[in-house]
Amino acid sequence: MTRDEQAIREAQAAWLEATASGDLPRLLSLMADDVVFLQPGRPPFGREEFAAMFEAGQRQVRISCSGELEEIVVAGDVAYVRSRLAASVVPLAGGPGKQLAGYTLSVFRRQPNGHWVLARDANLLSPVPSPS
């Protein structure tokens, strides 16, 4: 594994940890200023909308995620990553939680300081059917 691949794996792990702990400042430090998020059924959105949605969500639910990076391709200062993720969304007010699973395709960009940040993210997670 190359140093760049390891750095991207560490950025992905930091993202999952920051999500679980509700650490918005850490999440923002892991993304480019011009980041674009893609999710089914909605137009693309950026950093400010992500922050607003995350803050609103933290007042209602707790999210924990796990994932596996299945492919990392580095080409100069850009890399793409295909991941398989699972997420658990538990309402703070109680009641049944939701399980989501699926794939993401993310583009990372190396910054002048050498750190890799999320530049584009296509999140294809969908609800996991409950066992009947």
In a domain, residue 57? The reply is yes
The average pLDDT across 18-30 equals 96
State how far the Cα of 37 lies from the Cα of 53, in Å rounded to an integer.
Answer: 12
Which range of residues forms the domain containing residue 47? 3-127
In a domain, residue 11? The reply is yes
Handedness of CA 48, 62, 23, 112 (dihedral sign): negative
Q: What is the pLDDT of residue 120?
A: 98
Number of domains in the chain: 1
In a domain, residue 92? The reply is yes
Give the model confidence (pLDDT) of 98-121 as tens digits.
999 999 999 999 999 999 999 999
State how far the Cα of 109 lies from the Cα of 75, in Å rounded to an integer.
Answer: 10
In a domain, residue 132? The reply is no
In a domain, residue 25? The reply is yes
The pTM (predicted TM-score) of the whole model is 0.92
CATH at residue 40: 3.10.450.50
Phi, psi of 56 (to 5 degrees): -65, -40
